[in-house]
Amino acid sequence: MKIGGVIPLSLVDYPQMPAITIFTSGCNLRCPFCHNSELVEGEEEASQDQVFALLKKRMGKLGAVCISGGEPTVQDDLEGFIGRIKSLGYSVKLDTNGSKPQILGRLLEEDLLDYVALDIKSSPQGYRAATGGKLDFETVAEAVEIVKNSGLSYELRTTAVPGLVDLEDLAIIAQSLKPIERYVLQQFRPAKTLDPSVGKVEPYTEEWFRKAKKLFHGKAGEILVRGV
């Protein structure tokens, strides 16, 4: 495992539970709006020994671990890593871009996950642009179905990047992936982005997000907006 960083306490990364967040290093996508370029390139900042020393120290005080990235499913020993975390009694949430449906399915079959957050970058026609030409919508839709069929709690989430995601895209996503347990619309954070030009884009307004939420009515059981 290549670990790019650790947040010892997060109150936002795991639903209704304080968590430790672990960022794996390395990603198979090149989303132009990504603000974690140091994780994309695969820089390593912490060892497994350091991580597990922290996890053991926090046992009984914190109940959850969020594994994010980068993209965790590109790591060769992800299953063993999560298995060690689960053996300490933690609930585990996986943040994933959905590019590795078979790996995600195996983690679910082995009962290694308690919650999944799966990124939906754009609608089918915009997916290649939103991922730096690295991924298509059909692969992610396969991952979504695997999560749905697992019976596990999950959320789908989209970062609303002007120029890559508009209201029409969201309407297509909602129709294509319904029914959805929980959908999260996230505000785009400009400035530091993998593609510097995207960092100069003006984020959407609160009114835009109100319109966006309505597109998921009747298609998602819960609709959340973050960062606005």
Half-sphere exposure of 28 (CA within 13 A, CB side): 13
Q: Which two tokens stand for residue 209?
A: 């997000």
Contacts of 116 (CB under 8 A, 6+ apart): 93, 94, 96, 104, 108, 147, 152, 153, 154, 155
Q: What local confidence, expressed as pLDDT, does residue 196 receive?
A: 92
State the angle between helix axes of 137-150 and 167-177 in degrees (0 to 180), rounded to the nearest 10: 50
Q: What local confidence, expressed as pLDDT, does residue 44 receive?
A: 82
Q: Which two tokens stand for residue 135?
A: 């991924």
Contacts of 188 (CB under 8 A, 6+ apart): 33, 159, 160, 161, 162, 201, 203, 204
Q: Using alpha carbons, list the distances in angstroms from residue 106 to 21, 111, 113, 193.
A: 22, 9, 10, 32
Q: What local confidence, expressed as pLDDT, does residue 169 receive?
A: 98
Q: What local confidence, expressed as pLDDT, does residue 131 receive?
A: 97
Residue 69 DSSP label: S
Q: What local confidence, expressed as pLDDT, does residue 43 receive?
A: 74
Asked if 94 and 72 touch (Cβ cutoff 8 Å), the reply is: yes
State the angle between helix axes of 167-177 and 206-214 in degrees (0 to 180), rounded to the nearest 10: 30
193-196 contact pairs (CB < 8 A, 24+): 193/32, 193/33, 193/34, 193/35, 193/37, 194/30, 194/31, 194/32, 194/33, 194/34, 194/35, 194/37, 194/40, 194/132, 195/32, 195/33
Q: Which residues of the chain have pLDDT under 50?
A: none
Q: Which domains can be identified in the chain, with CATH numbers?
A: 3-226 (3.20.20.70)
